[in-house]
Amino acid sequence: MDLANLSAHELADQLKSGKVSSVEATSACLQRLEKTAGLGAYLHVDANGAKKQAAEADARRAKKQSAGPLDGVPIALKDIFLTEGLPTTCASRILEGFVAPYDGTAVRKLKEAGTVLLGKLNMDEFAMGSSNEHSGYLPAKNPWDATRVPGGSSGGSAVAVAAGSCFATLGTDTGGSIRQPAALTGIVGLKPTYGRVSRYGVIAFASSLDQVGPMTKDVTDCANMLQAIAGHDPRDSTSSTEKVPSYTETLEKGVQGLKVGVPKEYFIDGMDPEVRASVDAALESYKKLGATLVDVSLPHTDYGIAVYYLVATAEASSNLARFDGVRYGKRVDPGKGLLDMYLETRGKGFGPEVKRRIMLGTYALSAGYYDAYYVKAQKVRTLVAQDFKEAFAKCDVIVTPTTPTPAFKLGENTGDPIKMYLADVFTVAVNLAGLPGLSLPCGFSKSGLPIGMQVLGRPFDEATILRTARAFEREHDFSARRAIS
């Protein structure tokens, strides 16, 4: 058996029993990485650093000083995370050559947990995209069918986990960037409650929406990763002081007596019939497991994308003002003074989708349009959040499809921004409301493409989401299937 096909907790068991070493697991990932290099998952590989860290993990284990379930587990990180001494580009040409001077908090916590860092993963530039085709370097491809996208923006993260070139990873999710690629590649991805995980050392896209979360081979791995990174951080004033529960303790508790909300707005005409059938079957499965299905309504669902593309772009236009060619990154200076240096640096350094969003956000915030676009979007955001509050008065979790279709073809949506944006139609509302949401595989299409379903929960109730997902996973083999063997 190829080690690269194990889940992280299966690997942890083998590390614990001494059957395999972290060095062996690390070289299995590096071999798999080489075999699947055409999928474009990685932007930077630190093979030597990883081997050294693996040897250190093995040495800790030999001395019985192992740190826990993630010690010695090889991981990789979306290139949006600052990693001390390693290139960090956010898949943008404007940050080509940038080497992060410090570790972000989530990165530091994973290092303290003993993980081995293999390298940095591909993504849509500045996390703006739903297909990974907006990477400034190369597109990532879906390991189940390399003519199709892996989703985005955490596309490289999804590919690396699904293809076995790392055991687990972190993504970031602003409008679906963890859950949508997880769904399209058949893995588990969790966007925690806003504030559950520190954003310190994560390159900002839209600060009121961005959240860090795990992308893993199964639900148990997801719980272990969240456990390692959750909690308040004095370096991020928006990180919550809410107590972090044990996510693993309740994981196997099942769904007996749980109320599962089913929102009619997420089961729309025109959605892919195979997606619909898989999610319907999953709901039946929950009934058999002792849950009760409850009809709920989220009436403002259809406005989510419009709100999102005003709020997120407005915040992005402000956040990305820092890339000006002065303190870091690329500088293009035509020698005609400061203003021209700014204009050329940003004009040449940013790719087309990033420019489009900066432009849209700048417009929405500009004099004369601020109230009509930005404030209006913030008001509708209130309605979207209220919908969830009312729905969660009637149920404990909400189950929906993660995406309207399985993975689409490379190039299929690149000519039409709105069509691309609509790939996130089922994921954006959760970000607007600040809620946690997880995607897990719930089936496969006839042509062999993974289908994902989403489990949403109340603020800071990741534990219930995880056990709901785990209850389904226990009954089915979808998470156990591997794209590459």
Applying the rule CB under 8 A, the residues between 421 and 480 that interact with other proteins are: 432-435, 459
Judged by CB under 8 A, the chain residues 234 through 293 that form the site for other proteins are: 234, 237-238, 240-241
Residues whose CB falls within 8 Å of the CB of residue 485, separated by 6 or more in sequence, listed in order = 2, 5
Smallest distance from other proteins to CB 365, Å: 9
Smallest distance from other proteins to CB 372, Å: 4
Q: Does 302 bind other proteins (CB under 8 A)?
A: yes
Tell me which stretch binds other proteins (CB under 8 A): 6-14, 23-31, 140-148, 376-384.
376-384
- B/e letters for 129-144, b = 16+ CB within 10 Å, e = fewer, are bbbbbbbbbebbbbbb
- Which is nearer to other proteins, 239 or 439 (by Cβ)? 239
Angle at Cα 114 formed by Cα 63 and Cα 75, nearest 5°? Answer: 135
Strand, coil or helix: what is 260? strand
Residues 280, 328, 405, 481: which binds other proteins (CB under 8 A)? 328
Look up residue 289 and give its amino acid.
L
Q: Does 381 bind other proteins (CB under 8 A)?
A: yes
Q: Does 370 bind other proteins (CB under 8 A)?
A: no
Judged by CB under 8 A, the chain residues 66 through 125 that form the site for other proteins are: 97-99, 101-102
- Which is nearer to other proteins, 11 or 341 (by Cβ)? 341
Q: Does 297 bind other proteins (CB under 8 A)?
A: no
- Residue 370 gets which letter from DSSP? I
Q: Comparing C-alpha atoms, which of 442, 441, 443, 466 is closest to residue 456?
A: 466
Smallest distance from other proteins to CB 339, Å: 8
Q: Does 316 bind other proteins (CB under 8 A)?
A: no
Structure tokens belonging to residue 81 = 């995370």
Binding-site size for other proteins (CB under 8 A) equals 74
Element (H, E) at 172: strand 168-173
Q: Does 356 bind other proteins (CB under 8 A)?
A: yes
**Alpha-carbon gap, residue 190 to 460, rounded angstroms:** 12
Residues 303, 426, 472, 478: which binds other proteins (CB under 8 A)? 303
**Alpha-carbon gap, residue 68 to 20, rounded angstroms:** 16
Annotate each residue in 333-352 with x if it binds other proteins (CB under 8 A) or - if it does not, as one string: x-x-xxx-xxxx-xxx-x-x
Structure tokens belonging to residue 135 = 């990477």
Smallest distance from other proteins to CB 290, Å: 31
Tell me which stretch binds other proteins (CB under 8 A): 124-132, 283-291, 309-317, 461-469.
309-317
- Which is nearer to other proteins, 50 or 212 (by Cβ)? 212
Q: Does 65 bind other proteins (CB under 8 A)?
A: no
- Which is nearer to other proteins, 31 or 238 (by Cβ)? 238
Query: Torsions phi, psi of 259, nearest 5?
Result: -95, 120
Tell me which stretch binds other proteins (CB under 8 A): 22-30, 136-144, 233-241, 403-411.
233-241
Helices (H) and strands (E) in the chain, counts: 15, 11
Smallest distance from other proteins to CB 227, Å: 20
Residues whose CB falls within 8 Å of the CB of residue 427, separated by 6 or more in sequence, listed in order = 173, 175, 176, 179, 180, 402, 403, 437, 454
Please answer whether residues 32 and 3 qualify as being in contact, where contact means their C-beta atoms are separated by less than 8 angstroms: no
**Alpha-carbon gap, residue 373 to 444, rounded angstroms:** 40
Q: Catalytic residues, which ones?
A: 78, 153, 177
Angle of helix 304-319 versus helix 352-365 axis, rounded to 10: 100
Q: 10 Å Cβ neighbour count for 351?
A: 20
Judged by CB under 8 A, the chain residues 180 through 199 that form the site for other proteins are: 193-195
